[in-house]
Chains A and B, each alone.
Chain A
């Protein structure tokens, strides 16, 4: 713990967090082992690593959907003990509620939290517009494409005003073209909503494109291997893929992570 000043800029902190799952009987497998890192205010932090590195487990612990075996997780200095609306999560699988319209889906979280009807409607309309679905406000999710369903999920989570946005491979189920559209769209959304976010991905390019900082985890059990500052972006957010590719240092950063991926990935593959 350093000065008061630097502590106040920390949104989320993990200290020595570990989690094991039971395979069968007395056999346990360690998913993550002694993970420590911080997420700063207004930062887009990316958890990246080979498959099976426990990055989703780490995110679920932050969401409060799992309980850690050891270590501490704190949001704004308060320990995390259970799921809560201040840590809204977007999942890889589609989670739109089929029985509600787009508008009702986006209002859903606010309804749970008893936000007055009028305010609910206005906020929902704002976020539906932000994700570009105004024309589909009264449509049901079944009528939407995969990318649109994810945009509904993102709008629903943001409309609920989380203090930390959790994204668990939110574009993983989308086709390649939709995915990069959504990634570019995500940059815009994060900027306009000024939300702190923690994103889990195994897609190196996605990580480099979206991240202000990448936390690289090793494969099973997950440990923090390296925290990679996106110094090649010079503190700016990149808005398009072309812009990303044109940056000096991008190729090198990608090569570096690729190398980490191979080293860590091959260990148990």
Chain B
């Protein structure tokens, strides 16, 4: 029953005088689960940012906060512009993106086939899951001292941290999604004469792929988290390293500019994955 058809019953319980106005009343601003217009969605989405930047600007303009610890938004924006113009920062951004792409691709290359295998064959799951579920509960940063000892402060230790931080969760997610592929689809292929290899490639893989891409999108956010940790642990290059350098010289605007860039990049990657999902799996939309 829709909320609309229920409302006459509710108004019946009210005093007679109110019934008429209640029927012609506008939808309350906070109507439970009622759809809202596109215009309002956009307005509300922008409003929260306007409020955020307004409060920030007000706090700095009225000198409520010390300028050294919290520079004004316009100062951060100007710093961001100068950083990008200087070229060094663009380099740092490029290196950070490179680290994400390489480590995340490696993690996917391992996790996706393994997760699909685990979700398909109970024996593989029984064996590998006993290993993976233990590693999943070890926080990736706890490996930092070891990684530094093994690989030094170079590229490998950073890529390794990013890989460890993502791969075990991704394996579990892909496995769960694969297990959720409906049994009837598999049995249909069996009664159509499909062998094991055909069923894996023509039923299980295409059925689970949309969920795999969604899982990848979710884990990419985690990858960004570990990126900053990796770049802070041995601050030589990358966005995180730039922020650590800025901290040493009390360049708060640069730190904030770094945060803004990470946020924007995260959004862009997320957007890219959503677009790719729509493009690859257009039959779902």
Contacts and interface: CB of A to CB of B under 8 A. Distances in A.
A113 B284 contact: no
B38 to A, nearest CB: 24
A91 B192 contact: no
A64 B191 CA distance: 8
Interface residues of B, number: 21
A91 B193 contact: no
Nearest to B191: A89
B202 A112 contact: yes
B234 interface: no
Interface residues of A, number: 27
B184 A93 contact: yes
Contact of A95 (B184, B202, B206): B184
B283 A99 contact: yes
A80 to B, nearest CB: 12
Contacts of A98: 207, 283-284
B185 A157 contact: no
A140 to B, nearest CB: 4
A63 interface: yes
Contacts, number: 69
B189 interface: yes
Interface string B158-190: 000000000000000000000000101101111
Contacts of A166: 191
B199 to A, nearest CB: 9
Interface in B241-285: 281, 283-284
A160 B192 contact: yes
Interface string A59-87: 00001110000000000000000011101
15 contacts: A85-B191, A87-B191, A88-B191, A89-B191, A93-B182, A99-B206, A99-B207, A99-B209, A99-B281, A108-B192, A109-B193, A112-B195, A142-B284, A156-B192, A160-B193
Interface of B: 182, 184-185, 187-195, 198, 202-203, 206-207, 209, 281, 283-284
